[in-house]
Amino acid sequence: MPILLSPPTNGLASLPDSAVDTILQNLQESPDGVPDCGALATLLAVAKENTFQKNVVKCELGKCLMSLPRTRRKAGWAERVLQNLRACPKMIRELDLERVPCMGDENFTLEGLEHFIHLRKLNISGHVYMRETELEHLKGLTNLTSLNLAYCSNIGDGGLGLLTHLRQLQSIVLKGTIITDNGPARLKELPNLTSINLHACRRITDAGLDGLKQLSKLTTVDLSCCSCEGGPELTDDGLEHLKGLANLTSINLRKCCAITDDGLVHLGDISNMTFINLGGCFRITDDGLKHLTRLENLTAIHLGRCNQITDDGLNHLMRLENLKDVRLLGCNRITQDGISRLQANSVKVYPSELQS
């Protein structure tokens, strides 16, 4: 039976060591193993011995370990689980090492992961001390389709250059890393990439977006919080690089504060777009929303804190027949009448009523 090492749902972090030992004892006496895929006991067994690891297909190691009593988290469980799983890695399809306790220091290594050749999804987010050279160990994971490197804050352009062998990769999360404008172009060797998350990559500017236009299969791009006051900015010129991405359906530009109405001209050229987040883009006005009326497939738009928008701008949105979801939190020039007209058009609006 395939085993999923996922955290328990009933709050076992307060278990004393004696209870943990009892679980292990009962587990060892059970002839059938543990059928409950979410059981903490399964995790403990894999840590204690080589029990079950040949059937493990998914391991959420960090989340599981956080459900242990603190004394157990410090006792080398992470290393023991991984050591046992490495002994029989062919079944592992998903491995989640996000902020694994006892592994979040400068000694963190990905050594041994090169043997997990059937791995499809890998999450190593939150390891702020991990050196980017550790990505060398992923070169052989040619079946990998999803990689999460969020907030691995030593990962830069050089690290992306070590990922070019992962040609089946479809999704990559790079938020909070230190990649620069040279980084996105290094991903051109990944022909199947459909989703890229660059949230809070504050060294990315318009020039960096030029590197994305070679990724023709992209459907989802997250550029939220890439701009910061007094630092490099994403502007309307950067969005022009994206208008050739014919498959793009979702873009997040939240808090890209340099975007203006002129940038929406370029977004209006991406005909398959279904979702746009412009929250906090306070330079956008009613005139900018007019450019989006060409997006016949648009179903959702977030405009929170775009406080130059008025009811006239909402009238432009009403021309979008497939629009179902509009977020207007903090748009203080919108009236209840404008909201009601959208709602009468079967559009879900948040907030649904103005605060008095």
Q: List, for residues 115-163, the tens digit of each pLDDT value.
A: 899 999 999 999 999 999 999 999 999 999 999 999 999 999 999 999 9
Count of domains forming the chain: 1
The pLDDT assigned to 14 comes to: 45
Rounded Cα distance, 218 and 184, in Å? 12
What values do phi and psi take at 97, rounded to 5?
-110, 25
Report the DSSP beta bridge partners of residue 349. Answer: 326
Give percent of the chain above pLDDT 90: 64
The pLDDT assigned to 38 comes to: 38
The token pair at 124 is 């190593």
Averaging pLDDT over each range in 57-71, 83-97, 195-209, which range is the top one?
195-209
Q: How many CA atoms lie within 13 A of 162 on its CB side?
A: 17
Amino acid at 338: G
Name residues whose C-beta falls within 8 Å of residue 230's C-beta, 6 or more positions apart in sequence. none
The token pair at 207 is 């020039």
The candidate with the shortest Cα–Cα distance to 241, out of 213, 268, 216, 218, is 213
Report the mean per-residue pLDDT for the chain: 84
Q: Classify residue 42: in a domain, yes or no.
A: yes
Rounded Cα distance, 251 and 115, in Å? 35
Rounded Cα distance, 339 and 348, in Å? 9
Q: How many angstroms separate the first and last alpha carbons of the chain?
A: 57
Do residues 85 and 111 lie in contact, with contact meaning Cβ atoms separated by under 8 Å? no
Rounded Cα distance, 188 and 163, in Å? 11
**Does position 73 have pLDDT exceeding 60, yes or no?**
no
The pLDDT assigned to 281 comes to: 96
State pTM to two decimals: 0.87
Enclosing domain of residue 15 = 1-90
Q: Classify residue 144: in a domain, yes or no.
A: no
The pLDDT assigned to 51 comes to: 45
DSSP secondary structure letter of residue 68: S
The pLDDT assigned to 2 comes to: 55
Rounded Cα distance, 8 and 226, in Å? 36
Q: Classify residue 75: in a domain, yes or no.
A: yes
Q: Classify residue 5: in a domain, yes or no.
A: yes
Tokens 């059928």 sit at which residue? 35
Q: Classify residue 187: in a domain, yes or no.
A: no
Angle at 81 between CA 75 and CA 83, to 5 degrees: 105
Q: Classify residue 86: in a domain, yes or no.
A: yes
Judged by phi (left if over 0) then psi (alpha if -120 to 50, else beta), residue 8 lies in: beta
Q: Classify residue 290: in a domain, yes or no.
A: no
Distances (CA, A) of 318 to 279, 290, 291, 300, 310: 19, 11, 13, 12, 13
Q: Classify residue 81: in a domain, yes or no.
A: yes
Rounded Cα distance, 352 and 343, in Å? 8
Which one has a higher pLDDT value, 354 or 47? 354
The pLDDT assigned to 285 comes to: 98
| Cα-Cα-Cα-Cα dihedral sign, residues 150, 245, 166, 188 | negative
**Does position 266 have pLDDT exceeding 60, yes or no?**
yes
Q: Is 251 helix (H, G, I), strand (E, B) or coil?
A: strand
The pLDDT assigned to 226 comes to: 93
Q: What is the pLDDT of residues 231-258, one digit of tens each?
A: 678 999 999 999 999 999 999 999 999 9
Rounded Cα distance, 148 and 150, in Å? 6
Rounded Cα distance, 145 and 130, in Å? 21
Do residues 249 and 275 lie in contact, with contact meaning Cβ atoms separated by under 8 Å? yes
Binned at pLDDT 50, 70 and 90, residue 60 comes out as confident
